[in-house]
Structure 1
Amino acid sequence: MLRHLLPITLIICLLAGTAMSQDQSEVLSETLQQEHQRADENEAKVRELTRKAGQISTQLTDIEHDVALLQRKIRKQEAALNEIKEHEKKARQDHFALEEEKQRITLELSGLMKTLWPVHLQNVRSRFEGVDSWDMFDRRFNWLAGIYDATSRKLTEAKANSEEIAANLEHQRTLAIEAEQQLAQVNKSKDRLLNNKYALRKNLKQIRKKRQDAESELTDILAAIEDLKYQLQSQKTKRFSLYKRTLPWPVQGRLVSGFNPKATPPVRGLIISAAEGAQVQSVFWGKIVHNDTLRGFGHVVIVYHGYDYYSLYAYLSDTFVRNGQEVEKDEPLGVAGYCPKADGPGLYFELRFHQKPINPKTWLTASK
């Protein structure tokens, strides 16, 4: 192979049978040995590169296989979650029906008691005075017995209804726990899937040497996250779109530059100058979906807030959170680091909806 690529002058000398001195023969022999050694080294490098390429290819195949398995697993988990939610919906409908039945029973029982109670008091006071004949007594007795019996049946019905309502509420509580556990399993699988997609993206980028600018790389990341369609526990009671102009600022400091997507280059967020070691906090309840370096942004934390809303915190010198962690509003995420456009400690902050940047100042409190 490579060892046959000898210098042309040496090959000519050999073919021509040129007479050589002993010194020349020694030089030729040494040169040949060097060429053989270099060829062997090159062959070894080629074999090593081939081995590494095979390892990378195997790793990528394993990751791709795991991604496919996780996607199928998530589909099944989400189907189970949707089934639980349907059961919850049915249980709530049953509860409303039981409550309506309770109101009907209560009204009927109230009517019976209004009829029965005055008669009962009259009988207690008069002890059946004014009853002239056995037939009249029998009629009154049978009439009262009928009312007593109807009242007794209605009380039994009311008791059964009350027990059904209690059982329904317990069933709803059990379903809520199942839904929460199932949602946790779904999100755990999605966390693993997201990490695998990150690993796959990084490996493919290394192999293909694909260059991407900061915006396209961020868009790719958000697209991968959006594709997972995370559902968060906080979404049940806290919807991001309802908190416009009420969100806290992510860090205490001075606004250096505002949102200006038409500038050159575009400014898709806010640049905030901050004190050394200033703490950065989440502006809303959500889930950590990215905690890593990002070209053009330094170390970045991205929080998904549900319903396709994201917040991005860039140029952090340290972080306190991990991927997959759910965070509270105002929960510390990290420490502001060196922000180039702030010419010192600071934060670059973005809000995005469906991957597209939106003006954070229309969402934050007007305190700056």
Structure 2
Amino acid sequence: MRLAHDYGRVRVTPRLLGHILPFLLAVLLAPPALADEQAKAAQRLKALQTEITRVQERLESARGKQGKLERELRRIEGEIGRGSRELRDIDAQLARTQARLDGLRATRRDQLDALAEQRDLLARQVRAAYAGGRQAQIKLLLNQEDPAAVGRVLAYYEFLQTARLERIDAVESTLTDLRRTEAEIDQQTQALEAARKTQQQRQDALLAGKQERGEVLAKLRAEILSSDQRLTSLREDEEQLKALLAKLARVLEDIPNDGVMRPFTTLKGRLPWPADGQIKARFGEERGHTGASLRWQGVLITAPEGRQVRAISHGRVAFADWMRGFGLLVIVDHGDGYMSLYGYNQSLYASVGDWVEPGQVIGAAGRSGGHDTAGVYFEIRHQGKPVNPAQWCSQSVAAQTN
């Protein structure tokens, strides 16, 4: 006896099931182990991030007054970043609450219209009953000679009475719904007012934080007077980033991907830029007035503070924290030794260990790291070495040179 099942156009036989079953079992049994391995890897990445923070703190302590100011800058910009993220969440909450409130008000209008209609119909029925006079049903019955007509009259009056009761029930039900809607409108209005109050408090705190940042930044720049000091500082920042990427590479070697990640090399020339804006500094150009000894390792895209910064491709967040020279920095691992870096952020919306999708918002453009120009500093690296982002990102999407 041959058994077969049709699922759409596919005819599944026991023989076919025998081939498919081992594969299905492998798929079903693999995810828990994979998830466990990924969770452990996320813990290792977080531990590494904590270690990097401690290293930064030791370096700040060794730099004396300059290091103290850098530590203060890191604290302030971290608070600004968290405040911006909270403000973004509050804005989203406000939008949801306002939409809910608008929906409730529309429901209330519909309920009031329905109530008016139901009251009008009930009033008509009452007037019709009154016009018939008292005991109209008995009078009509006494005037009927045909027994069949008597039955029809009784059925008619029973129908009228039922319809009248149904109208009364409908009015009472609508009134109950209306009272419930009114109560929820009051509740949502209070929630909206509370969220707006919190929003204003966060905005005031952000403004104060930015003013404090400006004061600390002025003192820090007073400590770095010469171009030689500036060059030394930039070189130290680059070496610190190299050390971080090397440590990340060692941790990421043991991290399995989620099975969705496409080979990064297949995306060359077709990747989007992380933010809309203007390219102020290009890969390989001289950085500041430091001479040929120091050049840009990525591109600087100018953009208004708060503009969305998006992941260029699928990957896993390997680092999301403040780093001297780069400010609030996100590093996304794309596999096969490729990473993308997003610096100068005002706020970070992704955490270490998160899987991100192409185009997912991971930060907001800013000027963290002590920079004057708002935007996002963007790099692509392979095996720790910088590559030209213009060769990877689509020219049709690239911002125009300033």
Q: Give TM-score, length-normalised by structure 2.
A: 0.48
The 1:195/1:351 distance shift into structure 2, 3 A limit, reads: same
Unmatched 5+ residue regions in structure 1?
Answer: 1-151
| Alignment deviations for residues 294-341 of structure 1 (CA, whole Å, 9 cap, x no partner) | 111010000001111100000000111111000000000110002789
C-alpha distance in 2 between matches for 1:259 and 1:270? 5
Q: How far apart are residue 353 of structure 1 and its match?
A: 0.4
The aligned runs of 1:197-276 (5 Å cut-off) are 197-203=48-54, 206=57, 213-228=236-251, 229=253, 230-234=255-259, 236=260, 238-260=262-284, 263-276=292-305
Amino acid at match of 1:169: I
Counterpart residue number, 1:313: 342
CA-to-partner distance for each residue in 1:68-103, whole Å, 9 max, x for gaps?
xxxxxxxxxxxxxxxxxxxxxxxxxxxxxxxxxxxx
SS of residue in 2 equivalent to 1:276: coil
Give SS of 2:50's match.
helix
In structure 1, what is the equivalent of residue 208 of structure 2?
Answer: none
Partners of 2:295 and 2:344 in 1: how far apart?
A: 18
Match of 2:135 in 1: none
Q: Give me the whole-angstrom Cα distance separating, in 1, the residues matched to 2:359 and 2:248.
A: 23
Alignment of 1:329 onto 2:358: yes
Aligned position for 1:11: none
Q: Which residue of 1 aligns with 2:42?
A: 191
What displacement does 1:168 show? Answer: 3.2
The Cα shift of 1:205 comes to 5.8
Indicate yes or no: 2:38 matched with 1:172.
no
Over the aligned positions, Cα root-mean-square deviation in angstroms equals 2.8
Report if the CA contact (8 A) 2:49-2:319 is conserved: no
Which has the bigger relative contact order, CA under 8 A and spacing at least 6?
A: 2
Query: Residue 17 of structure 2 aligns to which amino acid in structure 1?
Result: A
Between the aligned residues of both structures, percent identity stands at 28
Partner of 1:182: 33
- In the alignment of these two chains, the number of paired residues is 210
Q: Quote the Cα distance in structure 2 between the aligned partners of 1:324 and 1:288.
A: 5
Residues 275, 346 of structure 1: 8 Å contact kept: yes
Partner of 1:280: 309
The aligned amino acid for 1:225 is: L
> Are the aligned partners of 1:339 and 1:348 in contact in 2 as well (CA < 8 Å)?
no
- Mapped to 2, the partners of 1:167 and 1:352 lie a distance apart of 45
Shift of the 319–200 alpha-carbon distance from structure 1 to 2, 3 Å rule, reads closer
Q: CA deviation at 1:201?
A: 4.3
Deviations 1:154-211 (A, max 9, x none): x79xxxx942431331321221233333222112101111222333344456568677
Kept in 1, the 8 Å contact 2:317–2:355? The answer is yes
Measure the CA separation in 1 of the matches of 2:331 and 2:293.
24
Contact in 2 for aligned 1:271/1:341 (Cα 8 Å): no
Give, in whole Å, the separation in 2 of the partners of 1:310 and 1:335: 19
In 2, Cα distance between equivalents of 1:181 and 1:261: 48
